Structure 1
Amino acid sequence: MTVAVDLGTTQTGEPAELDLEELLSTRLLVQGNSGSGKSHLLRRLLERSADWVQQAVIDPEGDFVSLAERYGHVVVDANRTPAELTRIARRIREHRASVVLDLEGLDAEVQMMCSAAFLNGLFDADRAHWFPMLIAVDEAHLFAPAMSGEHSEEARRASLGAMTNLMCRGRKRGLAGVIATQRLAKLAKNVAAEASNFLMGRTFLDIDMQRAADLLGMDRRAAERFRDLETGNFVALGPALSRRPMPIRIGPVETAGRSGRPSLMPLPETPREAMEDLIFTATEEDKAAERRAIERPQSNAAPRIEGAAAAIATRELLERVAAAPSVSERHEPIDDDPRSPEERAAAVDAIFAEMLQDPDAAFRPVPVLYQDFLTHCRLKRLRGAETDMAAFRRRLSLARAGVSCETDDEEWQGVVDRAADLPEEMQGVFMMLARAARDEAECPEDAALARAYGSHSPSRGRFLLSFMAERGLITAEADFRGNRVVGITGTDWRTKLPQVKLDAADEARARRAARLARG
């Protein structure tokens, strides 16, 4: 089935059409300096193809959210954890919803990490949900930079890897990338090179003109024409557009972005004296703000601290784990939270419960989980000791094992103190065994112990038992059936043997043995 998307008109006045089915197999690259009409072109393409194919728009400036009202796109606020964005992306593919990922207001590094998580979720969807989908990425050089710059290397790698997967391997999964950039020199070459269709707009720099001419198969002299293109005019080439370079003019659109072209407007006709009063005279709102600042000196500092944390959130999430200083070297956390310690602890408990609802959470690396945890804490405005890396590791090991810090019991507190002799990732497993022994429950199976440790391998559970037994923290015995009994050293706590269900023959033998014993 061939669907022709009307992009506008050619120089001769004929319709300039794009073969949508061919585009899904060959991808599209749009290039043009700021103000050349790239966003207008993307909007025209998305509007004209909205009824034919599922769409997702990576929108760094919030310009495309207006598609929701006219064409039913779902707006996804990117201010979420990476795990949440990945799950949302998988459900989007499952239910074939057209969406706009709104990244407006986020720090550049956070935008890169959020887009990477979202694209990876689309890419890793189940094979049964590999439906055709158009992925439009505006300002693609932000997500696939040609060189490392002011952003962290981890954020750049994550974002570039997701964009490379989209353009290089997305076709087999039904994903067709449509990427727009201001400068080809800023865009990673392995991302740009995978596009087979091109729409080149107005360009002034020689290096960008030459790259555009090379992609279109034009000589150096012909490249000069890119300087003369008007806003909304592009040169098209590709199997979905034209076999030869063809100038086209993009047609009108039905929706509008939040940020249009700047236009001149007259200045206000306010006299100079009146303007001075407006500028220099404090309003009642200003006076009230000053009074609040005097009454609560820290109230003005908190937003700045929080803003700084948001600005470096991704760098902290990825680098703080590897280079975390010791607890004694850290500055005392600023604790201006009006909530009580019990309320903050309850908030942290809720975060852990929400994180561990994901069945894959038990096997994800601790630094990745810590990244999700800090994002949750930032959203709930939690700071201080609750967000410390060491505290997080201890809480995670306990949460994975399904135990809580029950410190009211003196004997239990002694067990908690002995657990401190183990590596942090093993403490939760030890507490899991201690709880089962105290409750006289059956000893957890090897797979359960391994899962609490964060491993898929049951043999890891057996290793943990032998490791703790060698250090005298537990005793481990087995009956003649191989059932395990674990005791906690220093207490009389022991797990019980599992209840063995006898079949009819076993029950008959047991009754016969009992009669013989009675004589």
Structure 2
Amino acid sequence: MTSIILGQGRDGSDTCIDLPELLATRLLVQGNSGSGKSHLLRRLLEQTATLVQQVMIDPEGDFVTLADHYGHLVIDVEDQSEASLRAAGERVRAHRASVVLNLEQVEAEMQLRAAGAFLNGMFEAPRAHWYPVLVVVDEAQLFAPVAGGDTSDEARRLSLGAMTNLMCRGRKRGLAGVIATQRLAKLAKNVAAEASNFLMGRTFLDIDMARAADLLGMERRAAESFRDLARGQFMALGPALSRRPKLVTIGPVTTASHATGPVLVPLEPVSAEDLRDIILEPVHEFTPRPRRESRPPPPDLLAQLDAYGAEREAEEPAPAAVVVEADPDQLWSLVAEVVAGEGSDYKPLATLYQDFQLRARIQGLSRNVLELGPFHRMLATIRAGLDRERSESEDWKQAQAIAATLPEDVQGVFLLLARTALDGETCPGDEALARAYGTHSLGRARRQLNYLEEREVIVLQETPLGRRVAIVGLGWQTV
């Protein structure tokens, strides 16, 4: 059994925490501000720094000092996008790096988005990288709130979904959540309910004391004992801590936070007259510039041109419109130009279709020369790597018929697999699948393979040499 010493019990004996059991059962820490939650988390992180990979979601920048002593990587999110944070979450698991996600310099909206993207990236890591990770979230009520606040619903759903995945589904992926909150009443119930270990610190509100007592299996009349706990004292219960509620005083720590608490400083004697001159010093106010006289607005040139055009149309009959017939090769070339545009793999279909319509109008073609459905199929075919001549073959028409039975967002993935299987090539990698699906998330792209297999259009086989895909009904296989 791998145990670490968390602190001392009431009788002075060591109180240990079973690390393997903690990784399997998760931990919830509650205590009012000043009860010692950050001290407890720091003690836990220091004692396990050499035993397990650690990820710290730090909204206040209190834990960045771990980098100096234990080599943690500090990720400042102020210059990072959601896509880069999601990718960073996947890479952290692949390289087993202990990191501190520092959210101190960003506003509340970005804190939720950054934490949600990073945790989702960790959650979507490939199965080969499911190593044990201790994921510590301080001030968890910010990331999994019961009710809405000043942040947008989208950011709140992203963060709450990531926290729910961490606590509810993270165990099988090696993610062990340790969440700390000031009040259980502010924390989403489906997040708090998944913890099996509890450390309850000082609290004063009746509703919080009653809920803490219920979690620890204590009698209601004993709930008021939470008011008497000193700073750094917690009631412990859980399979990784103690089978019965036990008082523990958290042990000392090596590192310290950059933030310091309030310190009493003697007042310097200053006369009231000097203070008056300093505090009530006149402020120079700029006199506003005089307003300019209003001038009549200039004549509307566009209105004049429209009026002139209307007069000319009334006087002269309009010439017959020149209709340019659509050439299939020309349409293929226009769609190929859209595909070759910068960042086209990740642009929405509607944006790409507007780009095609603009190119068609420049060539003198009608705006509706190619409807959205045929445009999407031609777009997916070009992305799959076929030329126009092969796209007219009977084999490829069969593949397009199967793709037409699937949702639009996965048709590109299926056609890419069909083309590689038709040519007898190796199965596309995760990055190629992500581009075909239009996402930066490799995990989300990999899940489409399982979806296509559930729809019984492909057969997926994992081999020591890589993936192998066969197209159902056509007999094509990747090598």
Query: In the alignment, residue 190 of structure 1 is paired with which amino acid?
Result: N
In 2, Cα distance between equivalents of 1:416 and 1:118: 47
1:313-369 per-residue CA deviation (whole Å, 9 max, x = no partner) reads xxxxxxxxxxxxxxxxxxxxxxxxxxxxxxxxxxxxxxx95x66xxxx54x8x4xxx
Distance verdict in 2 for CA 1:395–1:18, change over 3 Å: same
The aligned counterpart of 2:4 is 5
The aligned counterpart of 1:68 is 67
Superposed, 1:185-204 pairs within 5 Å as 185-204=185-204
Superposed, 1:26-65 pairs within 5 Å as 26-65=25-64
TM-score by length of 2: 0.64
Distance verdict in 2 for CA 1:433–1:200, change over 3 Å: closer
Superposed, 1:75-474 pairs within 5 Å as 75-79=74-78, 80-279=80-279, 353=342, 362=346, 366=348, 394=351, 398=355, 414-415=362-363, 418-419=366-367, 442=388, 445=391, 455-457=409-411
In 1, Cα distance between equivalents of 2:119 and 2:364: 42
Distance verdict in 2 for CA 1:423–1:139, change over 3 Å: farther
Native 8 Å contact 1:420 1:427 kept in 2? no
Give how far 1:130 is off.
Answer: 0.2
Give how far 1:259 is off.
Answer: 2.1
Native 8 Å contact 1:393 1:425 kept in 2? no
1:9-39 per-residue CA deviation (whole Å, 9 max, x = no partner) reads 1111111211111100010000001110101
In 1, Cα distance between equivalents of 2:253 and 2:68: 14
Query: In the alignment, residue 11 of structure 1 is paired with which amino acid?
Result: R
Identical aligned residues as a percent: 54
In 2, Cα distance between equivalents of 1:55 and 1:91: 14
Q: Secondary structure at the match of 2:410?
A: coil
Native 8 Å contact 1:416 1:431 kept in 2? no
1:93-122 per-residue CA deviation (whole Å, 9 max, x = no partner) reads 000000011111322222112111111111
Give how far 1:265 is off.
Answer: 1.4
In 2, Cα distance between equivalents of 1:92 and 1:429: 37
Give how far 1:155 is off.
Answer: 2.3
Query: In the alignment, residue 14 of structure 1 is paired with which amino acid?
Result: S
In 2, Cα distance between equivalents of 1:7 and 1:100: 21
Distance verdict in 2 for CA 1:90–1:431, change over 3 Å: closer
Give how far 1:415 is off.
Answer: 2.7
Q: Secondary structure at the match of 1:128?
A: helix
Native 8 Å contact 1:397 1:425 kept in 2? no
Give how far 1:277 is off.
Answer: 4.8
Q: Secondary structure at the match of 1:56?
A: strand
Give how far 1:205 is off.
Answer: 0.7
Query: In the alignment, residue 165 of structure 2 is paired with which amino acid?
Result: N
Give how far 1:45 is off.
Answer: 0.4
Give how far 1:455 is off.
Answer: 3.8
Give how far 1:84 is off.
Answer: 1.1
Give how far 1:149 is off.
Answer: 3.7
Q: Secondary structure at the match of 1:456?
A: helix
1:289-318 per-residue CA deviation (whole Å, 9 max, x = no partner) reads x89x99xxxxxxxxxxxxxxxxxxxxxxxx
Q: After superposing the two structures, state which structure 1 stretch, 71-80 or 221-230, moved more.
A: 71-80
Q: Number of matched residues?
A: 351
In 2, Cα distance between equivalents of 1:459 and 1:44: 47
Q: Secondary structure at the match of 1:208?
A: helix
In 2, Cα distance between equivalents of 1:276 and 1:432: 75
Query: In the alignment, residue 250 of structure 2 is paired with which amino acid?
Result: I
Give how far 1:59 is off.
Answer: 0.8
Query: In the alignment, residue 46 of structure 2 is paired with which amino acid?
Result: E
In 1, Cα distance between equivalents of 2:40 and 2:164: 23
Native 8 Å contact 1:85 1:114 kept in 2? yes
In 2, Cα distance between equivalents of 1:23 and 1:38: 17
Give how far 1:254 is off.
Answer: 1.4
Superposed, 1:498-517 pairs within 5 Å as none
The aligned counterpart of 1:15 is 14
Native 8 Å contact 2:361 2:367 kept in 1? no
In 2, Cα distance between equivalents of 1:108 and 1:442: 51
Distance verdict in 2 for CA 1:95–1:431, change over 3 Å: closer
Give how far 1:177 is off.
Answer: 0.3
The aligned counterpart of 1:24 is 23
Native 8 Å contact 2:198 2:236 kept in 1? yes
Q: Secondary structure at the match of 1:16?
A: strand
Q: What's the Cα RMSD here?
A: 3.8
Q: Secondary structure at the match of 1:457?
A: helix
Query: In the alignment, residue 246 of structure 1 is paired with which amino acid?
Result: K
Q: After superposing the two structures, state which structure 1 stretch, 164-173 or 418-427, moved more.
A: 418-427
- Consecutive unaligned residues of structure 1, counting only runs of 5 or more, are 295-351, 367-391, 407-411, 435-440, 462-519
Distance verdict in 2 for CA 1:420–1:181, change over 3 Å: farther
Distance verdict in 2 for CA 1:199–1:395, change over 3 Å: same
In 2, Cα distance between equivalents of 1:281 and 1:114: 44
In 2, Cα distance between equivalents of 1:86 and 1:396: 28
Q: Secondary structure at the match of 2:363?
A: helix
Native 8 Å contact 2:141 2:186 kept in 1? yes
Q: Secondary structure at the match of 1:100?
A: strand
In 1, Cα distance between equivalents of 2:184 and 2:29: 9
Q: Secondary structure at the match of 1:25?
A: helix
- Consecutive unaligned residues of structure 2, counting only runs of 5 or more, are 290-340, 416-479
1:169-203 per-residue CA deviation (whole Å, 9 max, x = no partner) reads 11110000000000011111111111111000001
Native 8 Å contact 2:380 2:411 kept in 1? no
